[in-house]
Every structure is written in C-alpha cells, then in structure tokens.
Amino acid sequence: MYQFNFAPVFAGFDQLAMGAWLTIQLSVAAMVIGLIVSILCAAGKTSGITPLRFVIDVYIEVIRNTPFLVQIFFIFFGLPSLGLRLTPNSAALLALVINFGAYGTEIIRAGIESIQKGQVEAGTALGLSKLQIFRYIVVKPALRTVYPALTSQFIYLMLTSSVVSAISADDLAAAGNNLQSQTFASFEVYIVITLMYLVMSTGFSAIFAVIEKAAFKYPLSR
C-alpha cells in the first residue's frame, strides 16, 4: 500500500509558489505582447499588400506546423550561434510571444473579416481616418466576436508555458521537477502541481470574464 507523504512538498512549497508566480508573469506578458503582435499581423494579412501577406503567411505556417519545444530550443540554443544569447526566462517569453502571435493572428483575422464592409464605408463617409476606422470600427467589434476563442488560446498559452522548464526557466514545472528530485515524492509533488495549474487556469478564466463584462458591456453568449 502506497503511503502518501505531503510533508516534504509543503515544506518546499515556497519553491512551487515562486515557480507559479513566474509562470503567471510569463503568461501575462506573453498574452499582452502576443495580442499586439496578433493584431498587427492580422491587420497586415487583411491589408491587401501581397508581399506583407506572404511573409505573415510563412510565419504562421512555420509556427503552427512545428512543435513548440523545437521552437524554444531553436531560440535558446540556436540563436547564440548567430550572436544572440538570451537568458532562459527571456527565451521562454520570446518563444511564447512568437507562438501565440501565429495562432492569435488567425483568430483575429477571422474577427476582422466578419466586419461588414458597409460599416467601414460608413466610417469613411464620416471622414474618419484609416487608423480611426481600424481602431473604432474594426478592432473592437472583431475582438468582441473572437473573445471566447482568444481567451481559450490564452489559457492554452499558460498551460503550454510548462514546456519552458526544458531550457531551465524557473517556472512552476521546473520548480516541481527540482522539488521532486530533492524529496523523491514524485506522486505528491505532481498532484500539487496539477492542482496549482488548475487553480491558475480557473483564476484566469474568472479574470477574463470580468474583462469581458467591462470591455464589452455584457457577456457574449457561448
């Protein structure tokens, strides 16, 4: 009969808490920067400028058709060969932003293309600049349309961040691996880590629901 022993896990819980805090920091930073990248790339992809669309399409296809682990290895181990050396945490953030940017671009592009052309023409008739039309008539309604898909991708991004432990980034998964090697309480450590990821995912979902109500006045039907 297996004897559960959570005492060593709770004794080293500060390590897990620090790892969880870094996971949250990486996730939030990647979400914000990745969203900006996604909006810019979606705008470029719907701009009608063929060379720009080609470059963005190549970026999306490369990222969406290669494993995230390979991408982060390329950034952390490959870029130093070109003279660009990053810390594990910086490489992790860059990889998360690049990865989310590719998926987010397609989500936001779908939202932009759902905007009726008549609305854009009405904005032009009112004398709005292209930037004003994009900001007030295109982006916000598009984000409202795809908000559920974006938030799901955000949660997936946070869970995917566990892979960054492969390059020694000090996230929750890495902290759990270190604690497991110290205590040999593998089962107990990974139960606690699983619960911590579940709490973080649930917390992010609640925050996104509040943001949805504040930004779009009323919740979207799902």
Q: Per residue in 119-129, pLDDT tens? A: 777 777 777 77
Q: What is the CATH number of domain 20-216?
A: 1.10.3720.10
Q: Which stretches in the chain have pLDDT values below 50?
A: 219-222
Cα four-point dihedral sign 213, 216, 217, 219: negative
How confident is the model at residue 27, as a pLDDT? 93
How confident is the model at residue 6, as a pLDDT? 86
Amino acid at 80: P
Please give the distance of CA 122 from its chain centroid, rounded to a whole number: 34
How confident is the model at residue 79, as a pLDDT? 92
Any idea where the domains of the chain sit in the sequence? Answer: 20-216
How confident is the model at residue 219, as a pLDDT? 46
What distances in angstroms separate CA 163 from CA 76, 108, 117, 201, one per listed residue? 13, 25, 42, 16
